[in-house]
Amino acid sequence: MEDLVRQLLVELGEDPSREGLAATPRRVAKSLKFLTSGYDADVDEVINQALFTVTYSEMVIVKDIDFFSLCEHHLLPFFGKCHVAYIPRNKVIGLSKIPRLVDIFARRLQVQERLTSQIAETIRDKIDPLGVAVVMEATHLCMSMRGVEKQRSFAVTSSMLGAFRDRDRTRAEFLELIRLRHA
């Protein structure tokens, strides 16, 4: 990968041996490996037995989960907040595992729509809840830095499964709760 980055620098009209760029191929390779580490992550290892049988059937929400990803079209970052909710049927997942799931899928080349669905579908598949909801709000540098150059725009995507799709009141409750901010 370092050789490819070096070649890219030459194609851009740069001298990859100059002082400021000499270590860039190594840094870029290391950075890209980290930013795409989700390909090597195993969902079951991350969950690591943190599934628990409970008699709780109210909404569980983890909101304002920061995430960073790379747009698969331009390899530019997009980043923002992810909000996840589910209604347990008879199992819950450890709360810290939800942000870890977000990271697994965000650390891949992505489109926000697929990322949103992957998170929701994985939670549905792992704990069989009555419903799952995921809302993602993100700023895309491919829209801010190039193309339409709209610095203040952001994209919102959602995936509503089960009770969140079928019940208007459940969906509305979730959307209202994620709007609330800490004091």
The catalytic position among 7, 73, 113, 151 is 73
| Active site annotation includes 83 | no
- 104 CB neighbour count, 10 Å cutoff: 21
pTM: 0.92
Identify the pLDDT of residue 36. 97
| Active site annotation includes 142 | yes
pLDDT in tens, the chain (183 residues): 999 999 999 999 999 999 999 999 999 999 999 999 999 999 999 999 899 999 998 999 999 999 999 999 999 999 999 999 999 999 999 999 999 999 999 999 999 999 999 999 999 999 999 999 999 999 999 888 877 777 778 899 999 999 999 999 999 999 999 998 764
Q: Which residue has the tokens 């992810």?
A: 82
Contact 110, 68 (CB under 8 A): no
**Separation of alpha carbons 36 and 110, rounded Å:** 10
Contact 135, 158 (CB under 8 A): yes
Identify the pLDDT of residue 182. 61
Identify the pLDDT of residue 108. 98
| Active site annotation includes 112 | yes
Tokens of 17: 């041996």
In this structure, which topology does domain 42-179 adopt according to CATH? GTP Cyclohydrolase I, domain 2 (3.30.1130)
Domain map of the chain by residue range?
A: 2-35, 42-179
The catalytic position among 2, 121, 137, 142 is 142
146: which DSSP letter? S
The catalytic position among 74, 121, 137, 173 is 74
Contact 134, 118 (CB under 8 A): no
| Active site annotation includes 82 | no
The catalytic position among 82, 110, 112, 118 is 112
The catalytic position among 140, 149, 173, 176 is 140
**Separation of alpha carbons 172 and 140, rounded Å:** 27
